[in-house]
Amino acid sequence: MIVINAPYRMVRDNIRRIKGLDVGVEVYFNNDSIGDVDEAHVVETGKMLKGEGIRCTVHAPFMDLSPGAVDRDVRNITKEKLKKTVTMANRLGALGVVCHPGYDKWRFGDYLDIWLEGSADTWNEVLAAAGDNLPVMLENVFEEEPLSFIELFKYMKPKNMYFCFDSGHFNLFTTVSLEVWLAKLGNYVREMHLHDNHGTRDDHLPIGQGIFPFRELKGFLKARGDEIILTAEVHEESLAAEGIKNLKEYVA
């Protein structure tokens, strides 16, 4: 399944365009929109997508949020926004929700156990709100290697929690090979955000316009591609069609 990302506010006006591109849509609720959104409006949007045969996923807000925060007040704000996100995802009829786990070594590297404890507190509540039929997929952002994911998945097992591999973030921050990430987390992968950059900024370019080693990923996708949601995560609207075209050609 191939999807294109779009902010919630743009989804209704672009339903015919999305259908014309023959893809699904990953609906992004930012920090403000998730607080302001009307539930009835979301339900109606979900009906409109379903009526056009467009499947969807959801991307949760992430700015200033910290699921594993030491500060309980920060965690409580994070929980509130993430729990509302999974509720809206269910109202949309989404196939899953992508969230940022909020780990980076500069804040939590010496306090992994504390981060795991705070994270478990947050994700237990979020997963309960999501229910059994809505998987939550955690995305690599600043992580340099898979350890924090491995430990969190062990801590949370057997919860309905999975991994979303982001090629652009890998390109920017990893200190280990793609082979290591896939060997350690391949069984948890339910979604991939596939975009490119030149290793200096998060450009969100179409596949093939940067330096991510997509050839190394090809074998994994050939074996597992039908099970994984593939998001052409380009941020410039003018590049959307090219991003989808390149992704479709890549997985063909």
Which of 110, 95, 117 minimizes the C-alpha distance to 230? 95
Provide the token pair at 73.
């007040």
Structure tokens of 36?
């302001």
Look at residue 75 in the predicted model and tell me its pLDDT.
98
Q: Where are the domains of the chain?
A: 2-251
Are 24 and 1 spatial neighbours (Cβ–Cβ below 8 Å)?
yes
Residues 10-36, mean pLDDT to the nearest whole number = 96
61, 85 contact by CB (below 8 A): yes
pTM of full prediction above 0.95 = yes
Helices 147-156 and 178-185, axial angle in degrees (round to 10): 10
Q: Which amino acid is at 155?
A: Y
Model pLDDT, residue 167: 98
* Residue 133 amino acid letter: N
Q: What is the rounded average pLDDT of the residues 80-88?
A: 98
Given a cut of 90, whether residue 225 has pLDDT beyond it is no
Q: Where are the alpha helices (DSSP H) in 109-202?
A: 112-130, 147-156, 167-173, 178-185
Per-residue pLDDT for 108 more than 90? yes
- Indicate the pLDDT class of residue 166, thresholds 50, 70 and 90: very high
What whole-number distance in Å separates Cα of residue 64 and Cα of residue 16?
34
The reported pLDDT for the residue numbered 158 is 79
Assigned fold of 2-251:
TIM Barrel (3.20.20)
Phi, psi of 222, deg, nearest 5: -65, -35
Q: Look up residue 157 and give its two tokens.
A: 């097992």
Min mean pLDDT across 96-100, 123-127, 222-226 is at: 222-226
Q: Pairing mode, if any, of strands 97-99 and 24-28?
A: unpaired
| Predicted confidence (pLDDT) per residue in 150-160, tens digit | 999 999 987 89
> Across residues 71-80, what is the average pLDDT?
98
Where does the pLDDT of residue 226 fall: very low under 50, low under 70, confident under 90, or very high at 90 and above? confident
Q: What is the mean pLDDT of the chain?
A: 96
- What pLDDT, on the 0 to 100 scale, is given for residue 214? 96
Least confident of 54-58, 67-71, 143-147, 224-228: 224-228
- Looking at residue 252, its pLDDT comes to 78
